[in-house]
Amino acid sequence: ANNLKTSFKKCKNTEFINEDILSYLNSCYHDSNHDSNFNKVIGSIPYQITSPLLHQLADLITRIKIDSITLLIQKEVAKKISAKAPSASYLSNFIQTFFEVRYVVAVPKECFFPIPKVDGAIVKLEPIPQPLVLNRKTPAVEPKKWSSFLHQGFKHPRKMLKKVFDEKILREAGINPPQRPQEIGPESWLKLYNSYKTVN
Residue of higher predicted confidence among 132 and 147: 147
Kindly write down the DSSP assignment for every residue of 100-123, as one continuous string.
EEEEEEEE-GGGSSS--SS-EEEE
Single-letter residue type at 98: F
Over the stretch 67-90, which tens digit does the pLDDT of each residue have? Answer: 999 999 999 999 999 999 999 999
CA-nearest of 36, 37, 56 to 45 is: 56
Q: Determine the pLDDT at residue 133.
A: 47
What pLDDT, on the 0 to 100 scale, is given for residue 119? 97
Q: What is the pLDDT of residues 24-39, one digit of tens each?
A: 887 776 665 555 667 8
Give pLDDT, residue 96.
92
pLDDT for the residue numbered 69? 95
In this predicted structure, the answer to whether residue 2 has a pLDDT above a threshold of 50 is: yes
Q: What band does 196 get if pLDDT is binned at 50, 70 and 90?
A: confident
The reported pLDDT for the residue numbered 59 is 83
**Which H or E run contains 5?**
helix 2-7
Q: Judging by DSSP bridges, how do beta strands 68-74 and 99-107 pair with one another?
A: unpaired
pLDDT at 111 over 90: yes
Cα 140 from chain centroid (whole Å): 16
What's the rounded Cα separation, in Å, for the pair 128 and 33?
A: 25
pTM (predicted TM-score):
0.83
Which stretch of 21-25, 37-41, 150-154 has the lowest confidence by average pLDDT? Answer: 37-41
Alpha-helical regions (H) of 8-135: 21-30, 50-60, 75-82, 90-98
Cα 196 to the center of its chain, rounded Å: 23
Stretch among 19-33, 43-57, 58-72, 180-194 having the lowest mean pLDDT: 19-33
How far apart, in whole angstroms, are the C-alpha atoms of residue 143 and residue 153? 15
Burial grade of 167 (CB within 10 A; 0-12, 13-18, 19 or more): middle
Report the pLDDT value the prediction gives residue 12, as an integer from 0 to 100: 85
d(CA 130, CA 7): 36
Q: How large a percentage of the chain has pLDDT more than 70?
A: 88
